[in-house]
Amino acid sequence: MGDPTGFIKHTRELEPDRTPLKRIKDWKEFHKHLPADKLKIQGSRCMDCGIPFCQSGTMINGMTSGCPIYNLIPEWNDLIYRDLWREALERLHKTNNFPEFTGRVCPAPCEGSCVLEISEPPVTIKSIECSIIDRGFEEGWVVPEPPEKRTGKKVAIVGSGPAGLACAAQLNRAGHWVTVFERDDRMGGLLMYGIPNPHLDKAIVQRRVDLLAEEGIKFVANIEVGKDYPSDRLLKEFNSVVLCTGATKPRDLAIQGRELKDIHFAMDLLRANTRSLLDTNLKDGNYISARNKDVIVLGGGDTGTDCIATCMRHGCRSLLQFEILPKPPNERAYDNPWPQWPRVYTLSYGQEEAMAVFGEDPRRYQVLTKEFIGDENGNVKDLLTVKIEWTKGDNGRPTFREISGTEERWPAELVLLALGYLGPEDNLLDQLGVDRDERSNAKADYGKYNTSIEGVFAAGDARRGQSLIVWAINEGREAARECDRYLMGSTDLP
């Protein structure tokens, strides 16, 4: 700890993002970095608290607390305070294969469990992490590191999202020949097509993919295993397989009017928009446009926020986001103590942009959608809702009731369903005969990752269900360790 009183002398300061009214005019990243001298001050706020809750990820009350990939946070905070940036990068890469991703899109459960957060704003861990890796690339410190020896073993990884890429990186490091299959035309999975460019520039994703390719990983795009590439062939041609397909089955809303036009799953909007942006800068028109439309987003998570940001850049006429849960409090509630993830009211980048244009937070809380109403041509034109009230049921679990007389009709020419995901798609798992758990995920114990099929492992959202990018990286790394153990009898992977 370079400055024992840093957390007393200095206040939390975040990097100045590009202003909302300017950034919605383009598709560039809105992130900026604090200058190095200010980052050193922020690093000095780390308390070296003896028990760093920030770096030990766990689940408390159903929410992530701390860092699931066990980032050595106090160490690299201290190193940047002492101006040892390259050493900080080495410590960061020791646990995290892709800090340029997590430093941008991870919700930072590490900050929610920072000891300083008990009474003060937490250390700017996420900001410091992103600055370290970005400087590493700028200085040329991040270079390909192919393995010195090859084992001759071949491993197939299905899916190129954060779990698949982390698993591939680790298995390649162990010396195996790794092939990553991806059904989309570009690698990255959710990183490439599930997160808009302003939040995570696709050049940053491609840069890391290119680096992994230089290290010897083979990437195969436009191939859907189980459809274009038979699953039995996969088992014959590879010594082991790791399923990292994600949980891409979207939750639908089966109410009257669902068949109307211009009601889309959120990922359909995000995927098409990014592909068109990368292919032609949106000139081909092959995307769902919100331009001059009244838009309603159903669902209050990160995917809903990304939909808002996308529609704001299209130039929508109006925008609302309906959330079934109550509005969070401004400060931690009594039943949400540290080091739990703080369930408090915050403004994400998309809501901030909508506020800048329309003058208010687009979110409406405790709203239940009852019906989609269409016009004479089969297009959605309105949405019917009712307010709800949450109570505790007889079993003690939360339940809600509709409030009579609160029905309301809202104009809606484009509706986006961002209601979460139900698990992995069925085709490949059914072909392989992989056992499922009660939530339809690939059944494999955490820490072991082996499925019911010999030599087949599962990791990330395909195994645990929809979750955070840091859990995907955690599981990808750990599945690589167990796959290496299976192939070689022992392993040196962490």
Do 410 and 436 lie in one domain? The reply is no
Name the average pLDDT for the chain.
96
Q: Tell me the average pLDDT across 417-437.
A: 96
Do 19 and 120 lie in one domain? The reply is yes
Q: Is residue 493 included in any domain, yes or no?
A: no
For the chain, the first-to-last Cα distance in angstroms comes to 26
Output the CA angle 403-408-411, nearest 5 degrees: 155
Task: Show Cβ contacts of residue 69 under 8 Å, excluding neighbours closer than 6 positions.
Answer: 57, 95, 96, 102, 470, 473, 474, 477
Do 83 and 225 lie in one domain? The reply is no
Q: Is residue 202 included in any domain, yes or no?
A: yes
195 C-beta neighbours (distance < 10 Å), count: 24
Do 12 and 80 lie in one domain? The reply is yes
Do 301 and 428 lie in one domain? The reply is no
Tell which phi-psi region holds residue 198, choosing left (phi > 0), alpha (psi between -120 and 50) or beta.
alpha
Specify whether the CB–CB gap between 85 and 79 falls below 8 A: yes
Tell me: cis bond preceding 328? Omega within 30 of 0 counts: no
Indicate the residue among 88, 111, 138 that finishes a domain.
Answer: 138
Amino acid at 252: D
How far apart, in whole angstroms, are the C-alpha atoms of residue 234 and residue 241?
8
- 43-47, 161-165, 303-307, 480-484, range with the lowest pLDDT: 43-47
Q: Is residue 143 included in any domain, yes or no?
A: no
Residue-range definition of the domain harbouring residue 18: 6-138
Specify whether the CB–CB gap between 370 and 385 falls below 8 A: yes
What CATH code is carried by the domain that includes residue 31? 1.10.1060.10
% of the chain exceeding 90 in pLDDT: 95
| DSSP category for residue 442 | B
Q: What is the pLDDT of residues 127-161, one digit of tens each?
A: 999 999 999 999 999 999 999 999 999 999 999 99
Q: Tell me the average pLDDT across 64-89.
A: 96
Q: What is the pLDDT of residues 319-343, one digit of tens each?
A: 999 999 999 999 999 999 999 999 9
Q: Is residue 361 included in any domain, yes or no?
A: yes
Q: Tell me the average pLDDT across 303-322.
A: 98
Does residue 412 carry a pLDDT above 80? yes
Pairing of strands 154-158, 363-365: unpaired
Specify whether the CB–CB gap between 419 and 298 falls below 8 A: yes
% of the chain exceeding 70 in pLDDT: 100
Q: Tell me the average pLDDT across 361-389.
A: 98
Q: Is residue 147 included in any domain, yes or no?
A: no
Q: Tell me the average pLDDT across 24-41.
A: 94
How far apart, in whole angstroms, are the C-alpha atoms of residue 210 and residue 206?
6
Does residue 11 carry a pLDDT above 80? yes
Please name the helix (run of DSSP H) or strand (run of DSSP E) that holds residue 388, with its range, or none.
strand 380-392
Do 85 and 131 lie in one domain? The reply is yes
Does residue 395 carry a pLDDT above 90? no
What pLDDT score was predicted for residue 13?
A: 94
Q: Is residue 494 included in any domain, yes or no?
A: no
Do 38 and 75 lie in one domain? The reply is yes
Q: What is the pLDDT of residues 227-243, one digit of tens each?
A: 999 999 999 999 999 99
What pLDDT score was predicted for residue 50?
A: 84
Q: Tell me the average pLDDT across 190-207.
A: 97
Pairing of strands 154-158, 177-181: parallel
Do 329 and 404 lie in one domain? The reply is yes
Reading the block at residue 347, the tokens are: 């403004």
Indicate the residue among 105, 138, 171 that finishes a domain.
Answer: 138
Indicate the residue among 358, 390, 419 that finishes a domain.
Answer: 419
What pLDDT score was predicted for residue 1?
A: 62
What pLDDT score was predicted for residue 15?
A: 87
What pLDDT score was predicted for residue 5?
A: 87
Q: Is residue 86 included in any domain, yes or no?
A: yes
Q: What is the pLDDT of residues 281-293, one digit of tens each?
A: 999 999 999 999 9
Do 10 and 77 lie in one domain? The reply is yes
What pLDDT score was predicted for residue 47?
A: 85
Q: Tell me the average pLDDT across 83-96.
A: 97
The total of structural domains in the chain comes to 3
Reading the block at residue 239, the tokens are: 């010594």
What CATH code is carried by the domain that includes residue 306? 3.50.50.60
Do 339 and 219 lie in one domain? The reply is no
Q: Is residue 467 included in any domain, yes or no?
A: yes
Radius of gyration from C-alpha coordinates of the chain: 23
Print burial letters for 122-141: b (CB count within 10 Å at least 16), e (below 16).
bbbbbbbbbbbbbbbbeeee
What pLDDT score was predicted for residue 394?
A: 82
Do 224 and 280 lie in one domain? The reply is no
Do 273 and 380 lie in one domain? The reply is yes
Integer CA distances (angstroms), 22 to 19, 28, 29, 312, 389, in order: 6, 10, 11, 12, 38
Torsion from C-alpha of 260, 261, 265, 267, nearest 10 degrees: 180
